[in-house]
Structure formats: structure tokens, C-alpha cells
Chain A
Amino acid sequence: MTAVLELRSVGKTYPPPTAITALANVDLTVGLGETVSITGPSGSGKSTLLNVLGTLERPSTGTVRIGGTDTSTIPDRQLSGLRAWRIGFVFQEFHLLEHLTVLDNVATGLIYRGLSLRSRRDAAASALRRVGLGSRVTHRPSRLSGGERQRAAIARAIAGEPQIILADEPTGNLDSATGAEIIRLIAGLAGPRTTVIVITHDIAVAAAMRRDVRLHDGRIVRDTRTD
């Protein structure tokens, strides 16, 4: 199995005054096509790990390789390129822009690839059909239910068919029935060319993934696979 994500001795310590060590000596390899849940109690370093995986934060120590590229040695603009082409994010708060239609919200996911508006919208429309929102493309986000908003956000993450989908508590703002639908949707995104990594403290979400990485105090305390 090809490794898309490789963390070697990754540590993250925030500068004073907090001086919190959020991650300590984390080694993690995630292969292409895996579905991984990252679980752990509050303050265990889950969010920091997701930010480091998604190149939104640089680790204090260690190396992070994404698709073979060592992210510690490349400048910010190349990190941005990695995010634009390789990584799709799904957030707990959806982060949809109210002044854009659902279609254009999804199309915005591809704007930093330099694609034309037409091809962005085409890709957005097909991603929206894939998540079952094909009929709501012209709506504003505020007209959608919570579950629909998260579907739109998922469509934005997958519109560019990235290798890695990083989801941060995707069901955190949803009721359990809607959450269950979203879990099924996210778990179904994984494929031979797509890896899904979900941060969660929802046991149902973790159960839907084939691998669970458990964090405690910034360290990996358990790494289990169910086949």
C-alpha cells in the first residue's frame, strides 16, 4: 500500500505563554485508500494533529511527508499548492459562505487551482449530485438544513478529487440521525485513490472507519485496524 501521509517523530509545542505540548513524538503512516478515525479525549491533540496533517500548522519537530513531499522544507506557497490539489477539508462548522450559492460555494473549492469558472462549476455540480444535493445548487447555505450544509461542505472537499480528505468532527453540529447519514457518506468517499481521515469523539463515526488511532496527551496510545 502506498503511503500518502507519513509523520516521523512529530512534536508540536505552542510558544509561551501557553507552552502546551500538543503533540509529542508522533509516528504515523497512512496509506492510500485507508479510512482512519483519530479519537481521544478533549485536549489530547486531535485538532493539532489534523492541522499538522492538513499543513495548516507546521510541526515544531519531526517531518511530515504528504505524497512523498517533505513539508518541513517547502515554503508556504507550496504548502498552499498541496492543500489546493491533494487535500480536501470538512469542518464541524461547515464554513460555507453565505453570499454565494451552494454551487458556487462548492466551486470555490477549486478556485485556487486556477481552473476556469465553467470547469469549476461543472465539477461542483457533479460533486453535489454525488452527495445527493443536485436539486439545491441555487440555494443559499442558510436555506439548507444542517445535514444538507454538511453535504455541501463534503461536496466542496471532494469536487477536486483529492487524495486525502480530512474531516474535523463532521457530525459535531448534527443530530444523531443526520450524523449517521453523514458518517455513511464520508466512509463511502474512500476508494483506491482516496484516503479519509476523521477526527471525532463520536463512537459511531470511529466505528465506521477501518482504522482507529487513539491519542492521549499528544501521544498515540493505540492504533487498531478492523478488517
Chain B
Amino acid sequence: MRSRLRLRDAFALGAVGLRARRVRSALSALGIAVAIAALVAVLGIAASAKADLLAQLGAEGNLLTLAAGQTFTGNPTPLPATAEQMIKAVPPVREVTAVSVVHQATVRRSAAIPVIQTGGISVLAAEPSLLETLSATMLRGHFLDSIAQRYPEVVLGYSAAQNLGVGTLTAATQVYLGGTYFVVVGILTPVSVAPEIDDAALVSFPVAVSRLNLDDRPTRVYLRADPDQVAAVAAVLPFTASPAEPEAVEVRRPSDILVARIAARTAFVSLFLGLGAVTLLVSGVGIANIMLISVLERRSEIGLRRALGARGGHVATQFVLEAAALAAIGGILGVALGCLATAVVAHAGGNPITIPPSAPLAGLGAAIAVGVLAGVYPAARAARLSPADALRAP
């Protein structure tokens, strides 16, 4: 002769209580929805902004660059001509490519443009292996191929092409480079790990040597090492590249820049998460308030249920589940709104829509947890009511 309440019935009781007070339930659920939407959106928007950088970071973590400082006039000093071959000989090094700054040359749209209007574009001699070593991709056309080793062809970095006003490529698309016209055969997409490439016009080494008086010595070397050996390779690089002047050689890991950028873009996340948490707290207090009022209004129902055989615990369960259901409805609505906001913002910002799977789950979990916590005190009040007193209530 035990008093017992089936789990299904307990959930049904919680839901029926909400349906009996629709407007009030909807308004309290809305509070939770706003809070959860904010939390999910913050996580989602941050993740979307981070996703493309992280993808690059994963791909670029083993890239190292090597340069030999600058002269007093600010021009980069060249590395020894043997640097690239020596680096290639280091076992964990997988790919190497060298570039050399062509000091004398400027790039203009045509000879009619004054020589001082260089647009900040530098001319670099580059090897065909640059594309692969930097994991760069072509926006238009193709990279420096075998023809470019003999004829005046140029590939423009992304910003350089924009500055020069080169959009689409035809056979007649030319730029005036170092006193002669070069055919533009390709445009690169932005290279985030080597931003200097974005502002450069790339020509082949043989052409640079024969037509632009380059002395064939690299000013910068890009290399990819075995991911586990990056630090070890970085340590030996100065001696390998320039045995005579190792202290003049500067080794960089461009992915450090990406890490810094990610940190900058996600710095706001904890602040907004904090604000979201405060909103959640406030909406939880709102639910607790509503539930307390509900307990007061429904004293006679509580008394009836006790008379019908409900234990205090059954009455408490009913109110906790009601609060949890209220919060869960708000949570589901909030997750949907948050995902929508993330999609809109990511779309507008051109980032991939990335919602970490943990965000909706955490949002819903947080909502239900808040609901349960908010329901506990009113439920305890309901359970403690004396059945006889509760029945006498209007």
C-alpha cells in the first residue's frame, strides 16, 4: 500500500501545469531563451571566427622563415647563396623555398604612372616551390612555371593585385616592372602566414637575374619541417644557413602570429559568457519567483494531491519538473535562436559557420540545471505545506 508516482505521470504533471498557465510560462521561458541564445551565439560566433584561423594554424604550425636581418638603409641583407642547399640537407626539413628582394625594381600599372607611385609593392624573385611550401593557393591563373623561367611573367600577391587594379586576367594583362612589361599570369589568395607575399610581385629567379640584375642570393627562406622537430630545426637553422654569421640570421615561426590573432579574436568571449551567465542567473530567479507564486496560487491543488495520496516528495517533484520543463522549453528556443544568430553573423563576416557541438548541449544543460535549481525552493515550500492547511486555501 505504498504511495507511488510513475515517472511518466510525474513528467505529465509538470507539463500540464505549464499548459494551464500559457502566457506566464511563455514569458518565463523567454527569459531563459534570451540567456541561452546569448551563450550559444557567443560560443558559436567565437568558434566561427576562430575556425578559419585554427585551420590555418594546424596547417602552418611547421612553417619556419629565415632571414638575414637588414642593412643600415633598411634593405634586407642576402643570405649566403648556399643557404637553401644547406637547409635542404637537414633531415627533418621537408620543403624549402627561397625568395630574394629585387631592390631596384618597382611595379606600376604602366610606364605612364610616376615611378614614385609604387603602391608599396615589392618585387620578389621566387621559386616554383613557393606555392607548395607556403600552402598558398591561386585566386586566378597559375603560378610561375617553366615558361616564366625564361620570359617576363609575373604572379601578383593578393594585395598587390588589388593595388594595381588587376582583377581578371587576359593574355594582355601586363604590369610595368623594372623598365619592361611583364605578363600577369596569376594572382595569389592571401597568405596569412607570409603577409609579405601579399604585397609582392613575384618573378622567377632566372628572369630576375637576367633582366633585373639580381645577384641570385636569397634574402628569405621558407621551410617546412617535420612537425615534431620544428623547435630542433629552428635551433640549428642559423648555423646551417650562415655558418659565418649565425647571429645575423633571424628565424621565425609564422604560426605564432596566428596564435596571437586567435587570442585577440576570442578575448571577448569570456566577457560575453560572463554576461550570459548573469542573464541566466536573472532568468533563473525569474523562474523561481514564478514558481513561488504558482505554489501560492495552487495551494488547494497541493492539498488535494496530498489527500489523494501524494507524498510531499511527489508534490516537490511535480514543481521541480514544471520548472525544469519551463527552462527546457526556453533552452531549446534559446539554442535555436543562438544558432541562428551565429549563422547570420558568420555569414556576414565571411567565416565558416562553426557551432561547437558542446554549445547547444551546454546551453540546454545549463537551462535545465537553472530550472531545477530555481524549482527546488518553491517545490520544497509546496512539499512542506500541511495538507489540511493547503486544502483550506481558496
A 94-128 contacts with B by CB, 8 A: 95, 97-100, 108-109, 111-114, 116-117
- Does B309 belong to the interface (CB within 8 Å)? yes
On whether A100 and B16 interact (CB within 8 A), knowing A112-B4, A112-B5, A114-B6, the answer reads yes
A111 and B9 form a contact (CB under 8 A) = yes
Does B73 lie at the interface of the complex (its beta carbon under 8 Å from any beta carbon of A)? Answer: no
Chain A residue with Cβ nearest B8:
A117
Enumerate chain B residues within 8 angstroms of A78, measured Cβ to Cβ.
2
Residues from chain B with Cβ under 8 Å of A93 in the complex? 300
Q: Identify A83's interface contact among B4, B306, B388, B391, CB under 8 A.
A: B306
Which of B81-89, B134-142, B284-292, B311-319 lies at the binding interface?
B311-319
Q: How many residues in A have their beta carbons less than 8 Å from beta carbons of B?
A: 31
**Residues of B close to A100: CB separation below 8 A:** 16
Q: Is the CB of A112 within 8 A of B20?
A: no
**Contact digits for B291-324, partner A, Cβ 8 Å, 1 yes 0 no:** 0000000001101111111111110000000000
Assuming the contacts A108-B308, A112-B309, asked whether A56 and B3 have C-beta atoms less than 8 A apart, the reply is no
Q: Other than the known A99-B16, A112-B3, A112-B310, what 10 A-B pairs have Cβ atoms closer than 8 Å?
A: A56-B306, A77-B3, A77-B313, A82-B309, A84-B3, A85-B3, A91-B391, A111-B308, A112-B311, A113-B4
B312 and A76 contact, CB distance less than 8 A: yes
Distance from B78 Cβ to chain A, minimum over Cβ atoms (Å): 86
Contacts of B309 in A (CB 8 A): 80-85, 112-113
Minimum distance in angstroms from B54 CB to a CB of chain A: 51
CB A151 to nearest CB in B, in angstroms, measures 17
Known pairs A56-B391, A84-B308; A99 contacts B1 (CB<8 A): no
From B394, which residue of chain A is reached at the shortest CB distance? Answer: A93
- Closest B residue to A86 using CB positions: B1
Provide the bound-state CA to CA distance between A77 and B316, in Å.
13
Q: How far is the CA of A135 from the CA of B317 in the complex (A)?
A: 34
- A11 adjacent to chain B (CB < 8 Å): no
Please give the distance in Å from B315's CB to the nearest CB on chain A. Answer: 10
- Point out the residues of chain B lying under 8 angstroms from A156, CB to CB: 308
Other-chain residue from B5, B301, B304 in contact with A114 (beta carbon distance below 8 A): B5
Q: Are B311 and A80 in contact (CB under 8 A)?
A: yes
Contacts of B386 in A (CB 8 A): 56-57
Given that A76-B312, A111-B308 are known contacts, is A83 also in contact with B300, CB under 8 Å in the complex? no
Cβ contacts A to B, 14 pairs, < 8 Å: A51-B388, A56-B386, A56-B391, A57-B386, A76-B311, A80-B3, A82-B309, A89-B308, A95-B303, A95-B391, A111-B9, A112-B309, A113-B4, A117-B8
- Closest-by-CB residue of A relative to B390 is A56
- Chain A min CB distance to B90 (Å): 76
Bound form: Cα–Cα A98–B4 in Å: 24
Q: Is A33 part of the binding interface, using a Cβ–Cβ cutoff of 8 Å?
A: no
| B394 vs chain A, min Cβ distance (A) | 9
Residues on the B chain within 8 Å of A83, using CB: 3, 306-309
**A57: B residues at CB distance < 8 A:** 386-388
What are the residues of chain B within 8 A of A109 when measuring CB–CB? 308
Which one, B13, B19, B311, B387, contacts A77 given CB within 8 A?
Answer: B311
Shortest Cβ distance from A50 into B: residue: B388
Task: Give the complex CA separation of A86 and B1 in angstroms.
Answer: 9
Is the CB–CB distance between A95 and B9 below 8 Å?
Answer: no
Interface status of A40 (Cβ within 8 A of chain B): no
CB distance from A76 to the nearest CB of B (A): 6
9 closest A-B pairs by beta carbon, nearest first, are: A84-B309, A112-B309, A99-B20, A114-B4, A80-B3, A81-B3, A80-B311, A56-B387, A56-B388
The residues of A that contact B307 with a CB separation of less than 8 Å are 54, 56, 83, 89
Q: Tell me which residues across on chain A come within 8 A of B312, comparing CB atoms.
A: 76-77, 80
- From 25 to 57 in chain A, residues with beta carbon under 8 angstroms from any chain B beta carbon are 51, 54, 56-57
Q: Which residues of A contact B8 (CB under 8 A)?
A: 117
- Once the chains are docked, how many angstroms separate the CA of A225 from the CA of B305? 34
**CB atoms of B388 and A85 under 8 A apart:** no
Collect the chain A residues with CB atoms within 8 Å of residue B313's CB: 77
Chain B neighbourhood of A86, CB < 8 A: 1
| Contact residues, A139-178 vs B (CB, 8 A) | 156
Least CB distance from B134 to A in Å reads 68
Give the contacts of B1-60 with A (CB-CB under 8 A).
Answer: 1-6, 8-9, 13, 16, 19-20
A99 to B298, CA, bound (A): 12
Report the bound CA distance from A18 to B386 in whole Å: 17
Q: Is A99 a contact of B19 with CB atoms below 8 Å?
A: yes
> Smallest Cβ distance from B233 to chain A, in angstroms?
71
Known contacts A57-B388, A83-B307, A84-B309; A95 and B6 CB within 8 A of each other: no
User: A85 to chain B: closest CB distance in Å?
Assistant: 4
Report Cα–Cα, A78/B8, bound state, in Å: 22
In the complex, how many angstroms separate the beta carbon of A212 from the nearest chain B beta carbon?
A: 24
Asked whether A95 and B300 contact (CB < 8 A) given A51-B388, A82-B1, A114-B4, the answer is yes
How far is A99 from B301 in the complex, measured between Cα atoms in Å? 11
